[in-house]
Amino acid sequence: MQTSLFKKKRKSWDKGGNKFTFIDLFAGIGGFRIALEDQGGKCLFSSEIDKECVKTYAANFNDYPSGDITEIKPSSIPKHDILCGGFPCQPFSISGKQKGFQDTRGTLFFNILEIIKEKTPKVVFLENVKHLQYHDKKRTLATIIKHLEELGYKTEWHLLNAKDFGLAQNRERIIIIGNKHKHFSFSKIKTYEPKIIKDILEKNGNFEYLKPSEFTILPKGKWRKQASGLIFCGYRNKSIRINGTRPNTEHLSRVHKQPNRIYHIDGTHPTIPSQESSGRFWIFDGKKVRKLTLNECFRLMGFPDDFEKVSSNGARYNQIGNAVAIPMIREVTHQILNQLI
Ligand SMILES: C[S@@+](CC[C@H](N)C(=O)[O-])C[C@H]1O[C@@H](n2cnc3c(N)ncnc32)[C@H](O)[C@@H]1O
């Protein structure tokens, strides 16, 4: 089998000359790893509990992540410069039950703390959902920061959006950076012009179109480009929300459940969520309505086309919805190196 360009590039980082080392906690399918390797980093350890993610990670990085982080002794983890972790966001996400630290997945942050205590990395680099900032009347984020500060890390956080890093997706995420010596300055991070959905579409494919009887496109005058760059232009002909909706409000996206909304390809795409395992992301190209392909979903997160996708389609949708926006993580890493390493 021919080695893909992607794999060749990944392999090249194994040849020494790395600028820094890192560990990849809650590794998923390796979004952090791609971004940090691109900046010259060498991954010394990774951990991921989900078997399908592990399969995908191994197929791409030729490296099997260790499993459940709660079972791993911090002393067995190698010393490293940057600790990365997009710890599970469901306990803090607005689409989950928001149990936060009451949810066992929420307490995984404390496993991260144990590793930091033991290994004292130069930089702690965490990612989570936007809603973490408001969770439990803002106490959750305050607790996270307090614990990091108690370990001697000057900690800063900021909300960043994938669309500001050359991606066609409105995806806001909290980035938390801790360092023993200096406060990180988010203002130095370079941003890019957003793309629109049209820019990332595949030319050919086995596209899944809706029949004209299955959708409604609103009159053009009712399409409104939102501040986020989204253009809601129609909906699938399914029942609309009843509670709290007035007649003649079909032109408002909130009247329609997320998997029934149709977005115009001249705008950005809404956040790809991890729970949508059937990939109901509908786009309108001016003539027809079709689903985004899986490859297009991976492009919306900045994954290269030759990233190997080895799980079932349902698992792939979950994996990409959970992943990080790679160019965003790459730019943050670039600034970490400039400012802190
Ligand atoms: C938000 S996702 C991170 C995705 C990753 N940043 C990426 O780019 O693909 C969180 C990940 O943590 C994993 N996870 C949850 N509990 C875990 C545990 N106890 N030990 C290791 N990994 C765990 C989940 O399976 C999930 O893949």
Render pLDDT for 237-248 as a digit per residue (tens, 0 to 9).
987 776 667 777
Instruction: Verify whether ligand 1 is closer than 6 Å to residue 322 (CB atom).
Output: yes
pLDDT at residue 128 tops 80: yes
Yes or no: is domain 5-194+309-340 CATH 1.10.3720.10? no
- pLDDT band (50, 70, 90) for residue 98: low
> Which is more confident, 205 or 150?
150
pLDDT of residue 194: 81
For range 16-20, the mean pLDDT: 81
Alpha-carbon span 329 to 341, nearest angstrom: 16
Closest CA to 36 of 25, 50, 51, 48: 25
Average of per-residue pLDDT values in the chain: 91
Q: Among 18-27, 81-90, 145-154, 310-319, which is the least confidently predicted range?
A: 81-90
Alpha-carbon span 154 to 181, nearest angstrom: 7
Nearest ligand 1 atom to the CA of 32 is: 8
Alpha-carbon span 55 to 49, nearest angstrom: 11
User: What are residue 291's DSSP bridge partners?
Assistant: 282
From the candidates 43, 53, 84, 89, which is the catalytic residue? 89
Q: Among 12-21, 87-96, 123-132, which is the least confidently predicted range?
A: 87-96
Closest CA to 125 of 81, 79, 178, 89: 178
- pLDDT band (50, 70, 90) for residue 119: very high
pLDDT at residue 16 tops 70: no
Q: Among 2-11, 188-197, 318-327, which is the least confidently predicted range?
A: 2-11
pTM of the model: 0.93
225: tokens are: 């480009």
For range 161-189, the mean pLDDT: 97
Residues of CATH 3.90.120.10 domain(s) within the chain? 197-300
pLDDT at residue 106 tops 80: no
CA angle centred on 130, ends 138 and 341, rounded to 5°: 95
Instruction: Verify whether ligand 1 is closer than 6 Å to residue 297 (CB atom).
Output: no
- pLDDT band (50, 70, 90) for residue 54: very high
> Which is more confident, 73 or 92?
73
User: By alpha-carbon position, which residue is closest to atom 27 of ligand 1?
Assistant: 28
> Which is more confident, 99 or 135?
135
Nearest ligand 1 atom to the CA of 26 is: 12
3: tokens are: 């080695």
Which of 26, 36, 57, 132 has most ligand 1 atoms within 8 Å of CB, for mutation?
26
- pLDDT band (50, 70, 90) for residue 1: very low
pLDDT, one tens digit per residue, over 182-224 is 999 999 999 998 899 999 999 998 999 999 999 999 999 999 8
- pLDDT band (50, 70, 90) for residue 9: low
pLDDT at residue 303 tops 70: yes
> Which is more confident, 98 or 206?
206
Asked if 270 and 258 touch (Cβ cutoff 8 Å), the reply is yes
pLDDT at residue 2 tops 50: no
pLDDT of residue 101: 60
Expressed in angstroms and rounded, the spacing between residue 156 Cα and the centre of ligand 1 is 23
% of residues, the chain, pLDDT over 70: 89
Distance, C-alpha 70 to centroid of its chain: 23
CATH homologous superfamily of 197-300: DNA Methylase, subunit A, domain 2 (3.90.120.10)
pLDDT at residue 92 tops 90: no
pLDDT at residue 252 tops 70: yes
pLDDT of residue 258: 87
Expressed in angstroms and rounded, the spacing between residue 49 Cα and the centre of ligand 1 is 7
Distance, C-alpha 214 to centroid of its chain: 31
Residues of CATH 3.40.50.150 domain(s) within the chain? 5-194+309-340
